[in-house]
Structure 1
Amino acid sequence: MSVTDVFDAVAGTYDEARRRLVPCFDAFYGAAVEVAVPPLRAALAAGRTPDVLDLGAGTGLLSLLLSAAVPGARLTLVDGAPSMLAVAAGHLAARGVSHHTVHADLADPLPEGRYDAVVSALAIHHLDDDGKRGLYRRAADALAPGGVFVNAEQVAGPTPALERRYDEVWMARIAELGSDAEEIAASRGRMRYDRPATVADQCRWLGEAGLVDVDCFFKEWRFAVFGGRRPPE
């Protein structure tokens, strides 16, 4: 079974456990929105519609938050799991948000266009490191001048000891928030497809892709938000 098959199978219930399985949910997603918003508002101020590309959009959690923060943004959502995209489209349509969905793998060419923000949440860690680097280059190329790339991601610990500690803290936190044995087992099953990289490596790859002002803007154990900006022309 592929990673897209795994997530397609849980599309209808995926969002129910997000706040338990991502213990820092509000700060994590909130930081991603804060990084992405400035060029979107700048586009509105310049009299044009801001364009957002959401990679591995899943059920559209990040796109929904961005559309609430910047009403009028136009969103393109890419995901390999059609059932997840259908859930996302339903949520966005119910809120009257302009959007377009693209059924594609993250290794595929990105939709044509120039985007004020290219964003992703909890998706790119399913690619191997070469796949991540290739996607970061394509994402940087897809940005309009001054646009931002932001990745809200699950990351690897920089040492085996820290990786173990990340997992210990995560297990303790999700148990405190009410995850039961069945939910934890299901999450562990999906995590077999994870291939996370460290923040340091990924920030370096973003710089190599041509982005500037690259930084990690938020980090709580295995959950991090990092990104960079395409230089203005």
Structure 2
Amino acid sequence: MSENTNQWDEETSETFIDYGRYMVPERERQMAIMVALLPERTPLSVLELCCGEGLLADEILRARPEAIVHGYDGSARMLAAAATRTAWAGPRFIPQEFDLGSPDWRQPDFRPDAVVSSLAIHHLDGPGKAALYRDLFQLMAPGGQLLIADLIEAPGAAAQALAAAQWDEAVKARSLAIDGHTAVYDFFERDAWNILRHPDPMDMPSPIHDHLRWLADAGFTAIDVYWLKAGHAIYGGQKPAM
């Protein structure tokens, strides 16, 4: 995003609602992967961290009619959009405003069978990510699944430049496929949304091997990377069953 932006605000939320489908590589495929990896439980309790406009929550609720999704987000605008999108599901979507980096929400009155998150955890620094993974391990139900889709830092300048170029290519291709022109890609470039090329103080992606180590240190098992492209990855692990 533009160099004058150092925090996520409601204007940024509006921009992402408008242009997220262009900016997130293979967004539909990413959501399908996360839905496919949810545990087979009835009922299924899902905690989504930074649910945004409710796209993933909507996919989960449609694919899993036994699911209840607790959608947490720090943006009132995003929560309103998510509630509107999932209104058809009635009480199966429960919105809640929160601060991702605060510990205040990390002792909920329910035990989620799955925790999912998209494009959010890179806003925490390394120690913050490690602490989050420890807290998620504690609050999840035994046998639960953690699934995270997020930006990652490449291990080295050449790999980072390659990932940044791949992200540009993905946004340009998406812009052409949807609109037949590159106006959204031009905006993406002009406003410096490619944080792999234009670092921003609010964005602190970490290397994938750091994430996997922090997950293991927290106690997760069956840790894996399920998808990776253009500096974006889906990774996670399981809390052992008791």
Q: Is the shorter-chain TM-score for this pair beyond 0.5, marking a shared fold?
A: yes
Alignment equivalent of 1:226, drawn from 206, 215, 235:
235
Name whichever of 91-100 and 70-79 sits farther off: 91-100
* Equivalent pairs, count: 223
Instruction: Spell out, residue by residue over 1:109-139, the C-alpha distance to the aligned partner (whole angstroms, 9 max, x if none).
Output: 3233211001100111111111111111111
Instruction: Spell out, residue by residue over 1:52-87, the C-alpha distance to the aligned partner (whole angstroms, 9 max, x if none).
Output: 100111111211111111113111111111111111
Q: Distance in 2 between matches of 1:214 and 1:83?
A: 34
Name whichever of 63-72 and 113-122 sits farther off: 63-72
Identical counterparts, % of pairs: 31
Instruction: Spell out, residue by residue over 1:125-174, the C-alpha distance to the aligned partner (whole angstroms, 9 max, x if none).
Output: 11111111111111111110111001011111111210111001111221
Instruction: Spell out, residue by residue over 1:186-208, the C-alpha distance to the aligned partner (whole angstroms, 9 max, x if none).
Output: 46288622111111110110111
Q: Distance in 1 between matches of 2:185 and 2:96?
A: 34
Which 4+ residue blocks in structure 1 deviate beyond 6 angstroms? none
Compute the TM-score of the two structures, normalised by the length of structure 1. 0.88
| Match runs of 1:96-107 below 5 Å | 96=90, 98-107=92-101
In the alignment, structure 2 segments of 5+ residues that lack a partner are 176-183
Amino acid in the other structure paired with 1:99: F
Compute the TM-score of the two structures, normalised by the length of structure 2. 0.85
User: Is the Cα–Cα contact under 8 Å of residues 123 and 205 in structure 2 kept in the other structure?
Assistant: yes
In the alignment, structure 1 segments of 5+ residues that lack a partner are none
Q: Which residue is 1:87 aligned to?
A: 81
Q: Which residue is 1:67 aligned to?
A: 61
Q: Which residue is 1:3 aligned to?
A: 7
Q: Distance in 2 between matches of 1:189 and 1:159?
A: 17
Q: Secondary structure of 1:144's partner?
A: coil
User: Is the Cα–Cα contact under 8 Å of residues 67 and 73 in structure 1 kept in the other structure?
Assistant: yes
Q: Which residue is 2:209 aligned to?
A: 200
Q: Which residue is 2:178 aligned to?
A: none
Q: Which residue is 2:24 aligned to?
A: 22
Alignment equivalent of 1:54, drawn from 34, 42, 48:
48
Amino acid in the other structure paired with 2:187: E
Q: Are the structure 2 counterparts of residues 139 and 146 from structure 1 closer, same or farther at C-alpha, using a change threshold of 3 Å? A: same
RMSD of aligned Cα (Å): 1.9
**Post-superposition shift, 1:16?**
3.4
